[in-house]
Each structure stands twice: as structure tokens, then as C-alpha cells.
Amino acid sequence: MGEAPDSERQKKKMVIGEAGYVLDDVPHLSDYIPNLPAYPNPLQDNPSYSVVKQYFVDVDDSVAQKIVVHKNSPRGIHFRRAGPRQKVYFEPDDVCACIVTCGGLCPGLNTVIREIVCGLHHMYGVSRVMGIDGGYRGFYSKNTVPLTPKVVNDIHKRGGTILGTSRGGHVTKKIVDSIQDRGINQVYIIGGDGTQRGAAVIFEEIRRRGLNVAVAGIPKTIDNDIPVIDKSFGFDSAVEEAQRAISAAHVEATSFENGIGLVKLMGRDSGFIAMYATLASRDVDCCLIPESPFYLEGRGGLFEYVEHRLKDNGHMVIVIAEGAGQELVSESLKSTDPSGNKLLQDVGLWISERIKEHFSKQKKMVINLKYIDPTYMIRAIPSNASDNVYCTLLAQSAVHGAMAGYTGFTVGPVNGRHAYIPFNRIIEKQNKVVITDRMWARLLSSTNQPSFLRTRDIIKANKEEEPPIQLADDSTTDDNLMEKQIHC
């Protein structure tokens, strides 16, 4: 198996194999710390793992990013498989780990914290774990919180995060100074794309200083907008909780003449919660998301569809993601929060008023519209059973990776197998609903709503989702291989 050129490897740790195989690898402490000692993994003596036939992951195991291929397709991008290794690069007694949660709330945060603490303690015998209070700025402005299995025993039953969180506050030098001064050598960072972007900068500063510190990210976003991974934790819980609001809206709508139940769900730039909640509910007549433009007036517009639906059924339920239609309320795009996110106006309230105005003044038609906004209720709940299991796997995979000396990575499932993914792949773009994909077509057929797309919108969507260039044969040079497959 050949390797990428040195200049390329410094930017991205890529390994090239036969038949178009590319391993998009993650950094290892031994890459920049010479003569780093390794130790036998204590899991080999752990009674919990004694019954497992193969409890160590093979060093060459990798996970394919793309599993639907043609007979002549190159093998494509792979990631290093997550899991315990035969050798570790930390003695358990020498480990001083810290955990920090950043950004908005999400179901499952406390479960991840709990399982990192318990995983370090029960699997590897690590006793020194601390929590950073209040997000990134807590590294240098607040005290730490001692974390033991006893302290975190019941926290998975609560919503939110016991460590507190915040947006912004990222002063890289101060953070790394604090890590160095406290003797921390494992950093577990739980947060969304902005948080992972900060984690990448922290890792680079740690590597520049040559510190023996592993940095592991656990991707968190209720909107499910992190690329590469199958889904982010908390998403299943959010979709399940959204059903309560949709059911309430349906009851309200069916109880009044020309009743309309309007539900606003979370989704600043990606409409996954709205789409999946709509598909799961089957009570929704119209779903509006940021990725699919819509218009109100004229032929084929939202007002016309609402009128037809009310005449046919006597009621309807509309689900709208918080980021949908913001171009129609463009003044809201001028300011941002400390994390750089656009400050959005309440599109649900805005569209409620527009619908009421249209039918009362122009159509002289009586409607009964009820607006339900459960956005922050959804993200504040404890995680459900599915997310609790998922959070456990994420936390344990992160612990295995850090103990094995990997650093500068985010952990997550890729096609059903947990893998270590370089920070640059996680932060390069946002995951969005593809409106030219089958899943969105399934939603349209479920709700029987129009797509509201004009021809120019369809052309634009198709251009944005053009498939990556495939390699014709194995004779392609390494440089061309990098250039063509890096965005697969």
C-alpha cells in the first residue's frame, strides 16, 4: 500500500491502495512525538471482554464511505475503523482526561458524558476525569468538576448537560495553556460543527507545541447536519418528541372549521427533523424546509395549496423548519450569534400572520389557525432508548481511540460501522436534505403537497448534487486521485 506525497500527508493523512482505495486517516500521537512508548491494552484482562472472540480491531480495518457501487467503481474513500487496539499509548494511572460540552442543548449529552467517564474507569482503569464547566471558555474562566462513575450514575435520565454549555468563548491559546497547566492529556469535546471546528484548532495548537495530548470529538447536533456520519445523536429523540406537537396540531385542526395546525420545528439550515417527523406522523399535509424554496402567492404557491386542502379536507397541518423561508424575511439575516450562526426571525409566527391576512382580507374565508412552537422543548428532553444506546457506542469508541493514541478525530457511524473521521471532513460542509433525492420524493408523495419548485430551482439543485468524478482505472496518479476523490 503506497502513501500520499509528504506535502499532502501533512495537510491530510491519506494512504493510497490498489483499485482506487483511499484511507482518509486520522493523526496519531506518534506522528509528531518520537519514541512514544506503547503498552498492552488492559482490556485483554477485563472480564467483560473475556467472552468476546475478537475484541481488538485489526490495524488495517477500515470503513467505506460509499457502499453503493458499480462493477467498475474504484474502492473509494475509507476511514479507520473505531474500536479497541492491542496497544495503548497511555498508562491508566497517568491519564488525566477532561470533557467539555459546547453549543446548544441536545438529547443525549449527559449520556455521552456518563459513558466516557464509565468507559475510562471500567474498561481502562482511569480514575482522573474532570468536566469543564460552561463550554470552551470554562477552560480558563471557571472551575472544573470532578467526574466519577458515582457522580454520573443517574445523569442520563436528565435533559441538558450537567457541565453547562455556551457559544463562543474560543481563545485557543488560553484553552491549550489551561490544558497544559492542568496536566490534561485526553480532551473529549462534545458539540456540533462549530464546536468541532474549534476542536480542530485546539488539536493543531497542541500538535504545534508537541504535547502528548489526544483530542477526540463527539459530534452533536439536533439538526443532523454533520456530514459523513450516518446521523448525530439526539436526532431520533427529537423526531420522536416532535410527534407530540404534530399530534396536538392535528387535534386542533380537526376540531374547528377550516382548522390549520402550524408547527415550527428546529432546523436552521437543514430540514431533517421536519422531514422525518412528517414521514413518521402521517398527519402532515405540508412540510417546508430550508433546502426547498417555496413561495406564497400565485399559481402553485402555498396559499393556493392551503385553499385547495381546506376545501377538500376541511383542515390541514403544516410543519415548517425554523430556517425555511428566511429569504422571505431577509432582514433577519443581518446579525449573528457568538458562534457565527445567523439570527433567524420566527418564520412560524410570520407565516401564520401571512396566512391569516390572505384568507381574511383577500379570500374572505374564515380559518382557525393554531401555531405551536415546541423547538426548545424538543432539545431539552432526555434521550430515548435508541439514542442512549447510540451515545454509549459513540463514547466508548472515542475512549478506545484516545487510549490507542489517535488524536484530531471525530467518531461516528459510517454506513453502520463506527469510524474515526478527521476533523477536516466533519467541518468542510453541512449535511443537508437533498431535494432531488428519493427521501424528499417519499415525503412529497406522503403529504401529496406540491414541491413549490420552479424550473430554475430544480436546475440549481441538480447542479449542487452532481456526483463526484469516478476514476476510470488504477493508472490514475496519486495527485489526481487525491483531487478527484477527496470530496466523494
- Mean pLDDT over the full length of the chain: 88
Question: Please, which pLDDT band fits residue 328 given cuts at 50, 70 and 90?
Answer: confident
Give the residue-averaged pLDDT of 145-155. Answer: 96
| pLDDT at res. 59 | 87
Catalytic pick among 223, 236, 269, 387: 223
Catalytic (active site) residue 223: yes
Angle formed at CA 451 by CA 450 and CA 454, multiple of 5 degrees: 115
Residue 305 marked ligand-binding: no
Q: Tell me the β-bridge partners of 120.
A: none
| pLDDT at res. 401 | 98
Q: Which residues contact 250 (CB under 8 A, 6 or more apart)?
A: 261, 281, 283, 317
Give the residue-averaged pLDDT of 442-459. Answer: 80
Question: Please, which pLDDT band fits residue 428 given cuts at 50, 70 and 90?
Answer: confident
Question: Please, which pLDDT band fits residue 471 given cuts at 50, 70 and 90?
Answer: very low
Answer whether 83's CB lies under 8 Å from 397's CB: yes
Does pLDDT of 3 surpass 60?
no
Residue 160 marked ligand-binding: no
Q: How do residues 25-66 score in pLDDT, each as one tens digit? A: 999 999 999 999 999 999 988 887 777 777 899 989 999 999
Task: Give burial (CB, 10 Å; 0-12/13-18/19+) of 368.
Answer: middle
Residue 375 marked ligand-binding: no
Looking at per-residue pLDDT, the higher value among 329 and 4 belongs to 329
Residue 138 marked ligand-binding: no
Give the residue-averaged pLDDT of 256-264. Answer: 96
Does pLDDT of 442 surpass 70?
yes
